Structure 1
Amino acid sequence: MAPGSTPATTPVLQAHDIHKSYGRHPVLRGADLTVAPGQLVAVVGENGAGKSTLLKILAGTLTADRGEVVLSGTLGYCPQDPVLNASLTVEQHLRYFAAAHRLPDLDRGRELVQLLGYEQYGKSLVGELSGGTRQKLNLTLALLHDPAVLLLDEPYQGFDWETYLRFWDLVDDLRGRGKAVVVITHLVFEQDRFDLLADLTDGSLTPRTTAGREQHVSA
């Protein structure tokens, strides 16, 4: 290392040469991604491009045919379709997930509920909630254990404008505390919010040129 140089930040998430096919249909063909602490990343692609497949592989819920994923620290995963129990209340979900993560209390969960603006639904059954409120709970549960990396699949789905703004306030707080956030989406409305934009096309990730400079998908 040259005198006066700064050591490179150790990535919290690295994916290398990820391949995945369904039958004879290849979806991912060597996708690479490196995410640093405090970084906000968008993976952008059309429907059917393989975005959710990539996110499931990053989250460890789907096995790649080839390639490697290395995670440093804890992971939070928020799928596009909330995995919730319609017969349980919001509060019961918080308690069950807190117990699963062996958390001493519900302080973080209640803080997130308040930040996302749905504290009035604590005793409501999930089956009675709107799609947007279920998505808020889905996000809360993914963040309950304060993970180092948060993976989000189309997180804006069902959010009204106020919730959309609250969401970005939450993301800014996470980044300020060194948490990495990866957003999978088919459309990016505000590109300047992101540190890295990568297009998923033909099964691989390509850095997008923004603000006159090229961004790098991996080191």
Structure 2
Amino acid sequence: MSSAVSSAHAVPATPEAGASPVLSASGIVKSYRSGPLPWRTRRVLNGADVTLNKGEVVGLVGENGSGKTTLMKILIGALAADAGAVARPDQVGYCPQEPVVYPRLTCNEHFELFGRAYGMRAGHERACRQEIYETLGFERYASVRADQLSGGTLSKLNLGLALLPDPDLLLLDEPYAGFDWDTYTKFWGLVEQRRSRGRAFLVISHFVVDEERFDRILEIREGRTYPR
């Protein structure tokens, strides 16, 4: 993560009368150095905007290199923007495209570690963990180390860690990559269950198969977001 001071900042989302956004991002700009010369840059995001309300499921699509993952990392606070503003809750569930796990820890140990990081009580963490195991169908791997899991089971663990504290906002980058059809349908059942409790989802997908599952779809083109 860059340590440079940026004009993009995260502030707590403030409730207003009526439906207030769970996530609000405006004017997000991000450039990367292009080549060895420091003054040559490539602008990836050029004023992108994203707003999510309670209970919304929003898809984020775009061509490879369009800036989807860059925008997601800025929304979660893992990457500093060059300009813009982000308002989000204090606790956000984040499922990165590439699982970030500890190879020598088991699935159970991952949940215990993340539960402590989220500030969850041990009993509550175990109950939430069990629900995730049962919903995604990988309880039999509870005592298996991450470096011994198949790609599909690793994706389940990656998603499960984001779901663990049942946060108001979930940012998911290609969350069902590697899932079989049964797990894919279970994933959407889980999304429907949580959105009924007011949880909001932003889901990056390389391509959208089931558009009816989303309330809205945003497409990134030339560094900006447009309704699709």
Q: Name which of 145, 148, 167 aligns with 2:165.
A: 145
Counterparts of 1:1-219 in structure 2 under 5 Å? 8-23=18-33, 24-104=41-121, 105=123, 106-208=126-228
Aligned with 1:114: secondary structure? helix
In 2, distance between residues paired with 1:101 and 1:72? 13
Does structure 2 conserve the Cα–Cα contact (< 8 Å) formed by 1:30 and 1:204?
yes
- 5+ residue gaps, structure 2, are 1-16, 34-40
Deviation at 1:143, TM superposition (A): 1.2
Per-residue CA distance 1:174-199 (angstroms, 9 max, x = gap) = 11010000001110001111001111
User: TM (normalized to structure 1)?
Assistant: 0.90
Does structure 2 conserve the Cα–Cα contact (< 8 Å) formed by 1:43 and 1:198?
yes
Deviation at 1:72, TM superposition (A): 3.2
Moved more, 72-81 or 142-151: 72-81
In 1, distance between residues paired with 2:82 and 2:166? 30
In 2, distance between residues paired with 1:152 and 1:197? 14
Deviation at 1:73, TM superposition (A): 4.9
Does structure 2 conserve the Cα–Cα contact (< 8 Å) formed by 1:73 and 1:147?
no
Alignment match, 1:212: none
- 5+ residue gaps, structure 1, are 1-6, 209-219
Per-residue CA distance 1:100-120 (angstroms, 9 max, x = gap) = 122112110111111000000
Amino acid at match of 2:179: F
Amino acid at match of 2:46: R
Does structure 2 conserve the Cα–Cα contact (< 8 Å) formed by 1:73 and 1:149?
no
After superposing on structure 2, the runs of 4+ consecutive aligned residues of structure 1 that deviate more than 4 Å are none
In 1, distance between residues paired with 2:139 and 2:183? 13
Aligned with 1:12: secondary structure? strand
Aligned with 2:21: secondary structure? coil
Aligned with 1:150: secondary structure? strand
In 1, distance between residues paired with 2:221 and 2:129? 37
Alignment match, 1:217: none
Aligned with 2:103: secondary structure? coil
In 2, distance between residues paired with 1:110 and 1:102? 18
In 2, distance between residues paired with 1:153 and 1:119? 23
In 1, distance between residues paired with 2:175 and 2:162? 12
